[in-house]
Structure 1
């Protein structure tokens, strides 16, 4: 039961962070869903940082992993919103933007995880 609460709290904080990114989105008149892209890429960067750190420190508490990776990053990233926005772009006849959204989200999210894992290995003294 304790682990369920840990994931619940992490997910709530991640969802709150996603909401804040959306609220801070500068121009709501733009067609491209920058707020969702930002949330997804930042979530992947954070996930990569922690995955890299967890791989180096195998003795870390499993609850911390659940809180950050499953909870926070799961709540902060938003695959369902990304998918809906892509479908809406397509339905609104912005097919190029829909395809660009798919390409950019995938590419930057993979790059975010890899960059986070790389950065976690740097000795920042």
Structure 2
């Protein structure tokens, strides 16, 4: 449980820093988090620290959902593009992470 807390602390700090310096912070953290998950998921000893803790606090689906709805109210095309790109690139990042890990 301590490893989950440590990972969560680190993930939250990283998320804050990414969101502070990049306007597309949610998009960036979701893609990076998906990639990290794809790399680490096969290392069961690291799952609590990295996947549950770090990725759990670093990535965010609730903020993503809110941003899609907010965009939808102002610009439906931009909302759909953002939702599709985030979902598509997140899936690709997990796949790449898993593929790289299986090669190494």
- Do structure 1's residue 98 and structure 2's residue 79 form an aligned pair? yes
The within-5 A match list for 1:1-125 is: 3=1, 5-25=2-22, 28=23, 34-52=24-42, 54=43, 61=45, 64-91=46-73, 93-123=74-104
Q: How far does residue 19 in structure 1 lie from its aligned partner after superposition?
A: 1.0
Normalised by the length of structure 2, the TM-score is: 0.91
Q: How many residues align?
A: 104
- Whose helix proportion is higher, 1 or 2? 2
Q: How far does residue 101 in structure 1 lie from its aligned partner after superposition?
A: 1.2
Normalised by the length of structure 1, the TM-score is: 0.77
Residue by residue, what CA displacement relative to the aligned partner does 1:91-111 show, whole Å, maximum 9, x if unpaired? Answer: 2x2111111111011101100
Is the partner of 1:107 in helix, strand or coil? Answer: helix
RMSD of aligned residue pairs (Cα, Å) = 1.3
Q: How far does residue 65 in structure 1 lie from its aligned partner after superposition?
A: 1.5
Displaced runs of 4 or more, over 4 A: none
Residue by residue, what CA displacement relative to the aligned partner does 1:29-65 show, whole Å, maximum 9, x if unpaired? Answer: xxxxx2111000000000000114x2xxxxx53xx32
